[in-house]
Structure 1
Amino acid sequence: MIRILIFILIVLGLGLGFAWLADRPGELSVVWQGQLIEMSLMRAASLLISLIAAVLIVVWLVRTIWLSPHTVTRYFRARKRDRGYQALSTGLIAAGAGDANLARKMTARTRGLISADQEPLIHLLEAQTALIEGKYDDARRKFELMADDPETRELGLRGLYLEAKRLGAHEAARQYAERAAEKAPHLPWAALATLDSQSQAGQWDDALRLLDQSRIAHVVDRKEADRKKAVLLTARAMTKLEGDVKGARDDALAALKLDEHLVPAALTAAKALFREDNLRKGTSILEKNWKHEPHPDVARLYVRARGGDTAVDRLKRARKLEALKPNNAVAMAAVAEAALEARELLLARTKAEAAARLDPTESIFLLLADIEEADTGDEGRIRHWMAQALKSPRDPAWTADGVTSPTWLPVSPVSGRLDAFEWKAPPHTLSATVDHDQSNADEAIRSLPAVVEAHVHQPAPAARRSETPVILEAEREEPRPAPQPIKVAERKAPEPVADKPPVKAEKEEGANGEHRPDPFFGRPPDDPGVRDPAAGEKAPEKTTFRLF
């Protein structure tokens, strides 16, 4: 564009010059070697310009002829280079697509067309080709050569780091990442990999220092950096909790300033404050975290904040938590557990059933089984709640990379990634493998007697059934009687009073005079249990069956 503009300006200047000469005619006389030469001024200007143009054309022709060998050589060299870059591009695409044959062919062609000293990408193509062909030793040698070259150092260290991670050599991977982070602190993968390795090794101070440097270099954004720093401070506080309570408190409070909803930080800060006899501030932190999202660990620590409290005091604290977050299954479950410890069985049953309606999980039905055992000891009802627990989804837990942990951990034990644990339901649940039909659930429970005995401290049902065996006899003359169905044991209704209507048999009066709600959501239990003849119930009659 600039050349065209210059050409237009030159043509415009020549036209203006000739117009100016045409408006001012004149004669030009020249005496050269005794001869007089006369011509108009316009002709003289035209001859001068033509002479200059002819000289320029001659110079161009001479220069072109003189430089023609170099021009031809440069042309073929550029063509060869273009073919080499085309082969390099095709080879990289083939290596990325996993086409080993084409990648190897393009590697050989690129080597013949381009020198590796001129184009470092040839080493990358050779390394990628070796990787997809399974020649990992050759690939590592190529990456080592690239790591020694200042121009391709970061690329070589990246390849060596990935190879070390693939082989499970975490120490070597950590060294490569630290080396890359030292040479190029702006690389996000190097900074984050070093951060994860230092966190996995428990080097919290070094990890915090590296995180601050990465934040200054804008490798990690502000929100992510605050979250990771809160996790690191929480991890350091947990390690200091036994020996340095004050340091643990300061780190946990600093973590809460960065992320006020981090449950482990709130728990650690509250534990440190409780050990310093600062009950008010510790409970305030737990209440603030509870209002955002109720967590069972927060409820457990809040209820047992003071070691000398009685079961009734713990029940009052659980009720206070429920008032802060009403109509919540976790809060109701906490009240039910505290009520069970305080022997307020009616309250425990009411809250547990309400929690089961809101969020039917495994733990709430196991809690109902414990309440049933403490209240009535009815094996059939206990087995009913156990069956419901078996069919219900599992409770949320600290989960990372497909594994669960009973407590929060700052680093995943599988991948070593920082801040990997999340409070969510485990990926594999029993409800996905167990049929929701009641008969199948009962059969699954019968196949797990150890689980039943762990929650029901009574003999196994098979042993109880041996008291009334079924007799099989071969009788040819007597007809075979039809088996009588076993009836579900019903509770006896109290005697009606003269001035009051009779009370229904399904409802009993509790120990405190209040009516007990139906524990099976308006329907009889699926498993009535085993009746005890000593309790006054009529034993089933012996039934004989005809074999022949």
Structure 2
Amino acid sequence: MLFVFFFILALAAAAYGLEWLIQQPGSLTLEFAGNHIETSIPVAIGGLLALTAAVILVWAIVIALVRLPGRVAGGSRERRKAKGLDVISQGLIAVGSGDAARARKAAQLAEKLLPEEPLTQMLVAQAAQLSGDRATSAKAFHKMTLKPETKLLGLRGLHIEAKRREDAEAAAHFANAAHEIAPLPWAGSAVLEHLAAAGDWEKAREALEKSVSAKAIDLASAQKLRAVIETAMAVSREREHPHDALHLARQALKRRPGFVPAAVTAAQVLIRHGDYKQAAKLIEGVWTASPHPELAALYLEALPGESNSQRVARVEKLAKLASQAPASRHIVAEAALAARDFAKAREALAPLVAEGQHPSAHTCLLMAEIEDAENGQSGQVREWLARGSRAPRDPAWIADGVVSKHWLPMSPATGRLDAFEWKTPPHSAPQLAEEGRANIPAAFLAAPVEKPAALTAAPAETNA
């Protein structure tokens, strides 16, 4: 509203000024090249304005003619770019839908229209991956690494290609190169897994701390991985440096309370050095959260000087900390069976074998042992053994579909850290061979730690 008001005001002032100029007496005389021109002031001003307008018009036409080729070329480039981007869009849609032929055709056209466009190289790489053309894919990712704005994308693509062809060294090289540019989660994870696969846990821990400092990983995940790395370090040092191993295992338990592998490692060190009381106390401390068969076996080892009846009483107290867990009932049954208290052993397993329940293979085997110890070879023993052969499998350590008898810090299938979970395996899951896989450090491929041959070894300091 104010603009309209001021426009009208300015128009009125201009009209008033023009009227005043017309009413003024006087004339303008111009002599040039023998010509004499005399006119009034208003006509002279009008002619000057007309001349100025003509000059401006001619100048604009000249500039437009000069710029015309550039504008035509620019319009052509814009149309070419718009068409190229449309082709890239259609190609990426084809990649997403799995149409390899259409994606490859779009990639070829995009290279003609927009050869320098980063998205073109991305489309070329993905179309080649979809077609199984690894060489073309790697070439496209390599081109991306030559430009600062697409270097990280290219390095990640090369890393993925190296992993697909199982070239661990090349994959680690590309991940390291990316990690030096920016602390990206994928690069940090790849570097960490490579160091872990090589068994270099010290450098793996350093790499993890760098990722934490750069905020490339959240603190909760970092604490879990710290516990895994420290437990792995404890396992590798368990025999030669038991005090360090015990310290690392306890530290892992502080970071991740109830972490069974750390508790198992710490208890094994304590038992091996005769500190049975501390071992039993440690197991009791984690049993409520993590009642586990390996801890149960170690708990029985931690009671070497007690009578069978005392052992039964001790394990019953332990079982009360997680009374509903099958591991609690199993340990009571095993202790009672050793004490030949068959009634108590059956009582412990009764909820697991009650009508309507589906006892696991281990539960059936325990029932067969009880029957055999009390009544000798009989039909009941054969019946429980038969049921055990058909029973659901007991929980085991599973990672990426691979079942292992013992915990490993990484998956033997993918190299992923903290992959193993304690759960019931599917019937189709493959068992991990005793020798494991080549990318698992040797400390984790050894046979299970045997029971201490000499329980009278000098006890270690409890605050190790």
Tell me which interval the TM-score lies in, with the shorter structure as reference length.
0.7 to 0.9
- With over 3 angstroms needed to count, the CA separation of the structure-2 counterparts of 1:349 and 1:135, relative to structure 1, is same
Structure 1 match to 2:374: 375
1:250-399 aligned at under 5 Å gives the runs: 250-275=247-272, 278-357=275-354, 360-399=359-398
Indicate whether 1:18 and 2:11 are aligned. Answer: yes
Contact 2:358–2:391 under 8 Å retained in 1 = no
Residue deviations 1:67-110 (CA, integer Å, cap 9, x gap): 22222222122212222222232223323433233233323322
Q: Distance in 1 between matches of 2:48 and 2:384?
A: 115
1:180-219 counterparts in 2 under 5 A? 180-182=178-180, 184-219=181-216
| 2:259–2:290 CA contact under 8 A, matched in 1 | no
The residue identity in structure 2 corresponding to 1:410 is P
Q: Sort the Cα spacing of 1:88 and 1:335 in 2 relative to 1 into closer, same or farther, 3 A.
A: same
Gaps of 5+ in 1: 431-548
Tell me: CA distance 1:287–1:30, structure 2 relative to 1, closer, same or farther (3 Å): farther
Q: TM-score with structure 1 length normalisation?
A: 0.69
1:466-505 matches, cutoff 5 A: none
Residues 1:31 and 2:27 are matched in the alignment: yes
- 1:260 Cα offset (Å): 0.5
Alignment of 1:54-203 (within 5 A): 57-114=57-114, 116=115, 118-182=116-180, 184-203=181-200
8 Å contact from structure 1 (residues 330, 355) kept in 2: no
Aligned length: 417
Tell me how far apart the structure 2 counterparts of residues 30 and 235 of structure 1 sit (CA, whole Å).
Answer: 107
1:243 is the counterpart of 2:243? no
Amino acid at match of 1:66: V
Asked if 1:220 corresponds to 2:217, the answer is: yes
Looking at structure 2, the residues matched to 335 and 244 of structure 1 have their Cα atoms a distance apart, in angstroms, of 34
Q: Which one has the bigger helix percentage?
A: 2
Report which structure shows greater RCO (CA 8 Å, sep ≥6): 2
- 1:364 CA drift (Å): 0.9
Amino acid at match of 2:28: W
Task: Report the residue type matching 2:383 in the other structure.
Answer: H
Q: Aligned-residue CA RMSD in angstroms?
A: 3.1
Q: Which residue of 2 aligns with 1:510?
A: none
- Counterpart residue identity of residue 372, structure 2: E
Output the amino acid matched with 1:160.
Answer: L
TM-score, structure 2 normalization? 0.80
Deviations 1:316-366 (A, max 9, x none): 221111232334432121111011112222221222233333662111111
86 and 187 in structure 1: CA distance in 2 versus 1, 3 angstrom threshold: same
1:104 to 1:271, Cα distance in 2 relative to 1, 3 A: closer
SS in 1 for 2:132: coil
CA contact (8 A) 1:267 1:298 kept: yes
Identity of aligned residues (%): 38
How has the CA–CA distance of structure 1 residues 107 and 286 changed in structure 2, closer, same or farther, with 3 Å as cutoff?
same
Quickly say closer, same or farther: Cα 1:36–1:238, change in 2 above 3 A.
same
Bigger shift: residues 295-304 or 223-232:
295-304
Report the secondary structure of 2:403's partner residue. Answer: strand
Q: Could you list the per-position Cα deviations for residues 136-195 of structure 1 after superposition, in whole angstroms to 9, with x for gaps in the alignment?
A: 23333333343344443322322222222222222332232223223x332222211121
What amino acid is the match of 1:220? I
Higher Rg of the two aligned structures: 1
Shift in CA distance, 315/37, structure 1 to aligned 2, threshold 3 Å: same
SS of aligned partner of 1:292? coil
Q: CA deviation at 1:53?
A: 6.6
In the TM superposition, what is the alpha-carbon distance from 1:245 to its structure 2 partner? 1.7
Amino acid at match of 1:347: K
